[in-house]
Amino acid sequence: MAYKAPVKEHLFLLNEVLNLGSYSNLPGFADATPELTAQLLDEAARFCEGVLEPLNAVGDREGCRHDPATGAVTTPTGFADAYRTMVEAGWSALAVDPQWGGQGLPGVLNLAFNEMASSANMAFAMYPGLTHGAFSAILSAGDEAQKALYLPRLATGEWAGAMNLTEPQCGTDLGLIRSKAVKSGDGTWKLTGEKIWISGGEQDFTPNLVQLVLARTEGAPAGTRGLSLFIVPKFLPAADGTPGERNGFKCVGLEEKMGIHGNATCFMSYEGATGWLLGEETKGLRQMFVMMNEARLGVAVQGLAQAEAAYQAAARFARERLQGRALTGPQNPDGPADPIVVHPDVRRMLMDCKAVIEGGRALLFWTILHQDVERGSTDEAERQKADDVVQLMTPVVKSFLTDRGFQICSDALQVHGGSGYTTHFPAAQYLRDSRIAMIYEGTNGVQALDLVGRKLPANGGRAMMAFLAELDAFAAEPADEALAPFVEGVKSAKAQLQEASLWLLQNGVANPDAAAASSHDYLNLLALAGLAYMWARMAKAAQAKIAAGDADPFFANKLATGRYFLERVLPEAGAHLAKVKTGAGPVMALAAEAF
């Protein structure tokens, strides 16, 4: 038995915890009735389990192939057919505005689909993920003709998109970009340069492929302020969209890499390729951030998704593998040994995984629900508040869910013992595939710097103050006795987060190294506070079900997992607070040559 989409978890979150029904004022939400949601998620599960998951190991084994003569890339067996099936079924356009050919459903429903797709086959799911990012960038900055030409085709997945930032000398520091754009005199530009590690920069699924390329125009200032963003299609389209002449760029090689072998990681060479400016000249980074922010949330999904798939594999293995006896007496007296799930140390690993996955999933869904509010509400104040949450939480979910996602994949492999290290079980692939998520779309270190350097101080700390106030308001609500530990968890996490925030305010401005040295721990403290809040809300929803007489063990298990989180995971917040307060001193003590 392979990966099973966690439809029941999704329905619990959407219907009972986030209460989707109360957002019927937002576009698309009135259509997302509990019945339609359940039906849609069941269908999504069938597609991801039945079509994508069987190709996961195939993609890992075969990888992509490159033809140096033509630059063509062949994806693993079955990928192109699966892509066509996905497009025909309309999965790519689930949450896209009907104006562009989408179904206009809530983004949180799309998130459930994305999680399943990424659990089933992360390498495959990256192709439509980046296409959607290109869609959003053109939606945000494109002129009317660009929108009319590209958006309907990207929305459905008929054409694909890719994101071109990185160059050999330029990773984190985008100010080092050298690719050049020169005016052609006919409204187009000619692009020249090398881009490396471009995910989905070439594939064999779609009749056209739209590269979004950051480049420097003639005379533009050095650094990031001189960057502009260009739309560079593989085939120059006629006004009606018919792909025409082949554009002047090609994939000149593929990267050999640790995981996600089914995703083509391309070296791209632009040799006077025709491009169209997207948005204003020299404002390219601002436009690209639309795509990057979306991609960051997409990478957070990958961390969660790989963790879920790896945890499921570990739980299955632990129920079946017979080794040793339970310390309190045999649990499988007729067998030669007990299943390893009886051992407390195996339980510890499984519970760590489960508590962080379920809490992390709730935090991610809660964040994306705010994105829906920001996009759909007609109330300006509500939109601003929702946007603050999305801005604040984007680096947090990206970094926390991918760091923890990898840790969970490692714990899941550990549960398998030596079998996990072999290719007979999927644990090793999950571990390898998940590792990149901590690196791309801005490394997790860079996410933490973004949090303390930009997101926290923005608008006088408004987003953090609102988050702290929301925790206070939740803790002040009257609650059932059974929820008391959860309310205490929220209160203590809030107090620690507030203390760390004040410390940063008092020390981080005077000494930027202090803020930077504390940023990783501060981000983790904020994430744990977020999980404490989510676990309290999930416990409240589960307790309400139990109080109403629902005997489904799902709800009692939810409470027990939540208590595990409070007792065995949340205490890490104290260590993060202590580390935040050490500042830069211990981190910067050694001279560079001492390393």
Ligand X SMILES: Cc1cc2nc3c(=O)[nH]c(=O)nc-3n(C[C@H](O)[C@H](O)[C@H](O)COP(=O)(O)OP(=O)(O)OC[C@H]3O[C@@H](n4cnc5c(N)ncnc54)[C@H](O)[C@@H]3O)c2cc1C
Query: Could you give the CA distance from residue 564 to residue 544 in angstroms, rounded to a whole number?
Result: 20
Residue with the CB atom nearest ligand X in the bound state: 171
199 makes contact with ligand X (CB under 6 A): yes
Nearer of residues 208 and 561 to ligand X, judged by Cβ: 208
Region near ligand X per CB under 6 A, out of 194-202, 367-375, 552-560, 575-583: 194-202
Burial group, residue 302, by CB count within 10 angstroms (0-12, 13-18, 19+): buried
Quick check: 155 and 135 in contact, CB under 8 A? yes
Length of the chain: 595
Which residues, numbered 441-460, are part of the site for ligand X (CB under 6 A)? 442-443, 445-446, 449
Q: Contacting ligand X (CB under 6 A), which of 38, 57, 315, 439?
A: 439
* Residue 478 dihedral angles phi and psi, to the nearest 5°: -60, 135
Which residues, numbered 218-257, are part of the site for ligand X (CB under 6 A)? 257
Which pair of structure tokens corresponds to residue 588? Answer: 């910067």
SS3 64: coil
Residue 193 parent element (H or E):
strand 189-199
564 makes contact with ligand X (CB under 6 A): no
Find the shortest distance in angstroms from Cβ 257 to ligand X: 5
Find the shortest distance in angstroms from Cβ 177 to ligand X: 10
318 makes contact with ligand X (CB under 6 A): no
Quick check: 554 and 8 in contact, CB under 8 A? yes
DSSP string, 378-391: S-HHHHHHHHHHHH
Find the shortest distance in angstroms from Cβ 171 to ligand X: 2
265 makes contact with ligand X (CB under 6 A): yes
Nearer of residues 439 and 466 to ligand X, judged by Cβ: 439
Q: Which of 221, 224, 170 is nearest to 196 (CA)?
A: 170
Site string for ligand X, 164-193 (x = CB under 6 A): xxx----xx---------------------
Nearer of residues 269 and 384 to ligand X, judged by Cβ: 269
Find the shortest distance in angstroms from Cβ 174 to ligand X: 9
Nearer of residues 171 and 417 to ligand X, judged by Cβ: 171
- Residue 251's DSSP bridge partners are 268
- Could you tell me how many residues of this chain bind ligand X (CB under 6 A)? 19
Find the shortest distance in angstroms from Cβ 80 to ligand X: 20
Find the shortest distance in angstroms from Cβ 449 to ligand X: 6
Q: Which residue has the tokens 């429903």?
A: 109
SS3 476: helix
Residues recognised as catalytic: 441
29 makes contact with ligand X (CB under 6 A): no
Q: Which residues touch 168 (CB under 8 Å, ≥6 apart)?
A: 194, 196
**Residue 158 CB coordination number (10 Å):** 18
Q: Which amino acid is at 280?
A: E
Nearer of residues 198 and 500 to ligand X, judged by Cβ: 198
CA angle 49, 55, 58 (to 5 degrees): 150
Chain residues that interact with ligand X, rule: CB under 6 A:
163-166, 171-172, 197-199, 257, 265, 436, 439-440, 442-443, 445-446, 449
